[in-house]
Amino acid sequence: MKKETIAVHGSHLKDETAGAIAAPVFLTTTFERALDGTYPKGHMYSRNSNPNRTALEKGLAALEGASRGFAFGSGLAAVNAVFQCLQSGDHILMPEVGYYASYKLAEEILGPWGLEVTQVDMTDLAQVEKAVQKNTKLIWAETPANPMLSITDIEGLSVIAKKHGLKLGVDNTMGTPVLQNPIAHGADFVMHATTKYIGGHSDIMGGAVLVKEDDEWAKRIERVQILMGATPNPLDCYLLARGLKTLPLRMREHSANALELAKRLEKHPKVELVHYPGLESHPQHALAKKQMPQGFSGMIALQVKTGETETREMAGKLQIFQQATSLGGVESLVEHRKSIEGPQSTTPGNLLRFSIGLEHVDDLWADLEQALATI
């Protein structure tokens, strides 16, 4: 089946009670046990499993081409579950430029437990291989990467990982399972902050890990999911599964709007640089086309010809774009990443990250034009 069909039917939950087409929400913490001590419906306790969570996990796995899926209460909880498969003294490679909180999780929380981390330019495969150590166990990539939207060669990383007996995980939050499938390019794990495009309406927190093989790492992730308890509630799972059904349509529009705006911004006299994988000027455009043949997502990073203070002021003069953290909702957002990440951030001070929503592209352009005119 095509992705549009999988998106609609992959998370289907059959209602045995009334035959409802829309899935019921199982707002229960526990499930009835049979006389022989078994659980005839397959569920014991909602921290272990719940029908709504199972449906979501199956739908996500189907879209990603994964053998299994595991849902979590946030994207960082999902990242943590993969990192918790490692042991004290193990070493991982992470992006030099990527989601700030994932690195801080590894450094601040798991570092004191003995996890070793090296940040490396994931766009340079030679640097990645050079950074592999004897105790390296995992390469953690992100593509497109936050916030500069660089593209990493997943297949190239998988060759390095297999050569050295490592696992490869890919944060596919910006790519989504509709536009990009890292497992098809050799990844072992795929992570999504389902808070973003999969939820799609800025009202649900969630995360997921999809695995290529149902192996010992997958079993470990499942145990972390159950024993650490960072699982989503049934209503959030229901809403995320509902979000999957419209994901292909939404990503088509997000991508189309972003590409059109990126092309217009690239020609604006007050714009220094537009970071968008769909532009031919993007240094990894050819690789992006290979890995994301259906579209380049809805994120744009924009550097303007002014200083940091004026850049922040420009963000405040936008009227349709709202200043807020996060991405992937139907509404357009803008964020000054350096001020969010702190003084140690390497993100340029004149950079704004835009999450392009589903408003009419001409209205978004008019808003950008009037804000750019003030600098």
Catalytic residue list: 47, 99, 171, 196
Kindly state the tokens that stand for 276: 């968008």
**Number of Cβ within a 10 Å radius of residue 282:** 21
- Backbone torsions φ then ψ of 40, nearest 5 degrees: -60, -25
Kindly state the tokens that stand for 336: 């000054």
Pair type for strands 322-323 and 333-335: parallel
Q: What letter does residue 105 receive in the DSSP assignment? A: I
Residue type, 355: S
Contact 322, 356 (CB under 8 A): no
CB neighbour burial string for 130-163, b if at least 16 within 10 angstroms, e if fewer: ebbeeebbbbbbbbbbbbbbbbbbbebbbebbee
Contact 149, 353 (CB under 8 A): no
Rounded-to-10 torsion of CA 279, 285, 291, 294: 20
The DSSP annotation for 267-308 comes to T-TTEEEEE-TTSTTSTTHHHHHHH-TT---SEEEEEESS-H
